[in-house]
Structure 1
C-alpha cells in the first residue's frame, strides 16, 4: 500500500449502475484474476447482497487499490466510476 499525501481525497472505484450483466461478470473475472476476492465468498462480509453489481464494485475497488488508486486502473472499458463517498456497508468494508 501507499501512504496518502496530505490533503488528498480518498477515492473508491465502483461499477456504473448502467453496466450490463456480461460486463459486470467480465470485470469480476478480470479483477479477481489479479487480486484476492475472497471477501466475496458465501459467508464472508461482502457476499450479501449477492448480485453482480455489488460483487463487481467490490472486486473492481480491490483491483483499483492494488494498482495504487491510479485513475487508469478504474476504467474497466468505461464501466467504472471513481467516487469520493465510501461505499462500505455493514461489515463489508471497502479498503
Structure 2
C-alpha cells in the first residue's frame, strides 16, 4: 500500500469513528414487555403514592399519549428509579417481574425520561 493510501485509510477511519453515535452509560427503568396490566397498574399506584410526579401521564401531560398502561407505567417507573438513585433495587426490587433496565433512551416527543 502506498504511503498516500495509508494516510487516506487512517483519515477515513478517523472520520468514520468520530461520527459514530456514542453509546450511553445511562440507564432507564421501564416496564417489561411481558408485564400484565395488573402489575403495571400496581406500579402506577405505588409510584404515585410515594411522591412521584404523576401529572405527566394525565390527559394534559406530556406523557399521556400513547394512553396505555404500559406507557404510563414505564414513565412513572423510571421517574421512581431516577428519584431513588438509579439503583438496581429501585427498578427490580420495587417493580418485581415487571421492571427492566435499558440503555436506549425511551423519551419521545415532549415526554422526556430523566
Do both share a fold (TM > 0.5)? yes
Partners of 1:44 and 1:31 lie apart in 2 by: 17
Aligned to 1:81, the other structure's residue is in SS state strand
Answer 1 or 2: which has greater helix percent: 2
Greater Cα radius of gyration, structure 1 or 2 = 2
Give the RMSD, CA atoms, in angstroms.
1.1
Q: TM-score, normalised to structure 2's length?
A: 0.74
**Where do 5+ consecutive residues of structure 1 fail to align?**
1-7
Q: Is the 8 A contact 2:35 2:97 kept in 1?
A: no
**Is 1:29–2:29 an aligned residue pair?**
no
Structure number with the bigger relative contact order (C-alpha 8 A, sep ≥ 6) is 1
- Residues 34-45 of structure 1 correspond to what in structure 2 (within 5 A)? 34=50, 35-45=52-62
Deviating beyond 4 angstroms after TM superposition, the runs of 4 or more aligned structure 1 residues are none
